[in-house]
Amino acid sequence: MSGLLPLLTARHLVPALAGHEAETVAGELAACCGVSVYPRSITAAEGRVYFLGHKGAEKTLFILSRDEAAEFEGATRTCAHGILRACPRNHGNAAALRRALPHTGPVPLGLRRSIGMGDRLGIATPGHVRAVRGTGVAPILAQQSIREMTRTQRTPDQVMDDATWGVFEEGWREGFGSDADHLKTTEDIDRTFAAGFCLFTIDPGEHVDNAAGTDAMGTLRSKLATTPWGALETTEADSRKAFSGPFHLAPGTDLTFSEEEYLRAVCKYGRAVAHTARLYRHIVSISGGKAFELEMSVDETDSPTTPHEHFYVAHELRRLGVKVVSLAPRFIGDFEKGIDYKGDLKAFEEAFALHVKIARFLGPYKMSIHSGSDKFSIYPIAARHARELIHVKTAGTSYLEATRAIAEVAPALFREILAFAFARYDEDKKSYHVSAELARVPRPESLADGELGRILDVNDGRQLLHVTFGSVLTTRDASGRYLFRDRFYEALTSNEDTHYEIVARHLRRHIDPIAKGK
């Protein structure tokens, strides 16, 4: 009996096909539609078989059924097994697929240990799924900030749809999250909510008073008098009483606020708390009861978040009814883009352990590590203390590993990109925390083709390519054509397994230590 017939008569979601069975059915479907089929994409439910096929780099959603699947846009024809609809991978069909197969859309992840894997190119999700499969770590696969979307000329809908297609291609059914990252305005919240995001990372950095970390006491007292107590829904007297302590975080660990610690916390973060609460309530007002999650992030501020400041922020958010699933302080040490942690690991561990105790005491919520790409020295430390209450956020590292794939499959193009990056670095680095020196990066003409990937193994090379990604993807020549973008995508899509495996191998180095935290 054909392997297709049981699938076409199934009334519920059929367990994922595996191994020989998947390959056999893929062969039958390929004969039916005339294109190669991704075996893991084959999904049977409600009398339909959904699958993704490709001819060259062109990918198409196919639906084989007894009906016409009219809610999907596409052309139909009959075949031996029923009606076959070929559907372009557009926004309408991605939305229809999420309705038909809910596992292709995001869900809140709660307190599962997790990793965010931003996909700036929109084609890395299959590599991300391969990296996380079998680890028990929950993936956030649609993750991008408005700032990054602007640089890559993408929209929230495109970010969401690209994740959906990648999840479908790889047959991932274990759930994934979506993170509208570093949101600052209600307008940006509205755009990402409409696209289906369900985790909203609020960035109130513009409302943080960095000077309060070093101000003299007299200055702090003057600033305290201007605190927006109304927006915080409290008074100075009640606030002081709330932090009189001591707070017994854990056996043998108490936290008590001195006058100075109280003043610095309120003056530095009071307005940021009020702004976060305002945006949280906006999400509630537009959610219509739909489940969502919130992260507060102050990782891009000038000075580290002390344990007392962390306690103040979390305490006040809870008092204001703002429930956070994760919180991203500015940790001690340097979290530069694309390279390992710089700092005293012992000091980091002592501070991180206390931050985790606060998260358990006032939550629980996850400790979120931003600029988390390639911070290999701290993952075991963070996982050991946080255990399940950990979230690591990465993005740029997947782009960097895509350039490694370019170096392997299209070395001439990589040489062009590298030379262009040298010219763009001084301008593009202005909005990034990096320390790369161009003099320490080999010039492209000095390397043989087989040596090009070495540039991705040194800090300066990684940061050079990291901060110039927006220029590489969006710069056009005098005739208006993209300088690199089209050739970049063509090289990767023509060699997609190489791209996926390089990305998966690198991200697995991030995921394995997180998974091992007990």
Q: Tell me the CA distances in angstroms from 203 to 181, 275, 428, one per residue in order.
A: 8, 9, 22
Residue 22's H or E segment, with its range, is helix 19-33
Our answer to whether residue 170 is catalytic in this structure is: no
Helix axes 496-516, 125-132, angle to 10 degrees: 40
Instruction: Say which amino acid occupies 159.
Output: V
Residue with tokens 């008092």: 319
Cα gap 90→83, rounded to integer Å: 21
Question: Which residues lie below 8 Å from residue 206, measured CB to CB, with a gap of 6+?
Answer: 184
Question: Which residues lie below 8 Å from residue 65, measured CB to CB, with a gap of 6+?
Answer: 8, 47, 48, 49, 82, 83, 85
Q: Which of 203, 295, 299, 460 is catalytic?
A: 295
Residue 303: phi and psi, rounded to 5, are: -120, 155
Q: Which of 162, 179, 181, 215 is catalytic?
A: 181
**Angle (nearest 5°) at CA 32 between 88 and 25:** 100
Q: Tell me the CA distances in angstroms from 384 to 78, 354, 378, 380, 517, one per residue in order.
A: 57, 13, 10, 6, 5
Q: Which residues are bridge partners to 139 per DSSP? A: 115
Cβ atoms of residues 255 and 247 within 8 Å:
yes
Which DSSP string do the residues of 115-176 spell out, in sequence order?
Answer: EEE--SSS--HHHHHHHHTTT-PEEEEEEEEHHHHHHHT--HHHHHHHHHHHHHHHT--S--
Cα gap 262→270, rounded to integer Å: 11
- Cis peptide preceding 39, ω within 30 of 0: no
Cα gap 25→31, rounded to integer Å: 10
Which structure tokens are listed for 257? 């606020």
Our answer to whether residue 295 is catalytic in this structure is: yes
Catalytic center residues? 181, 295
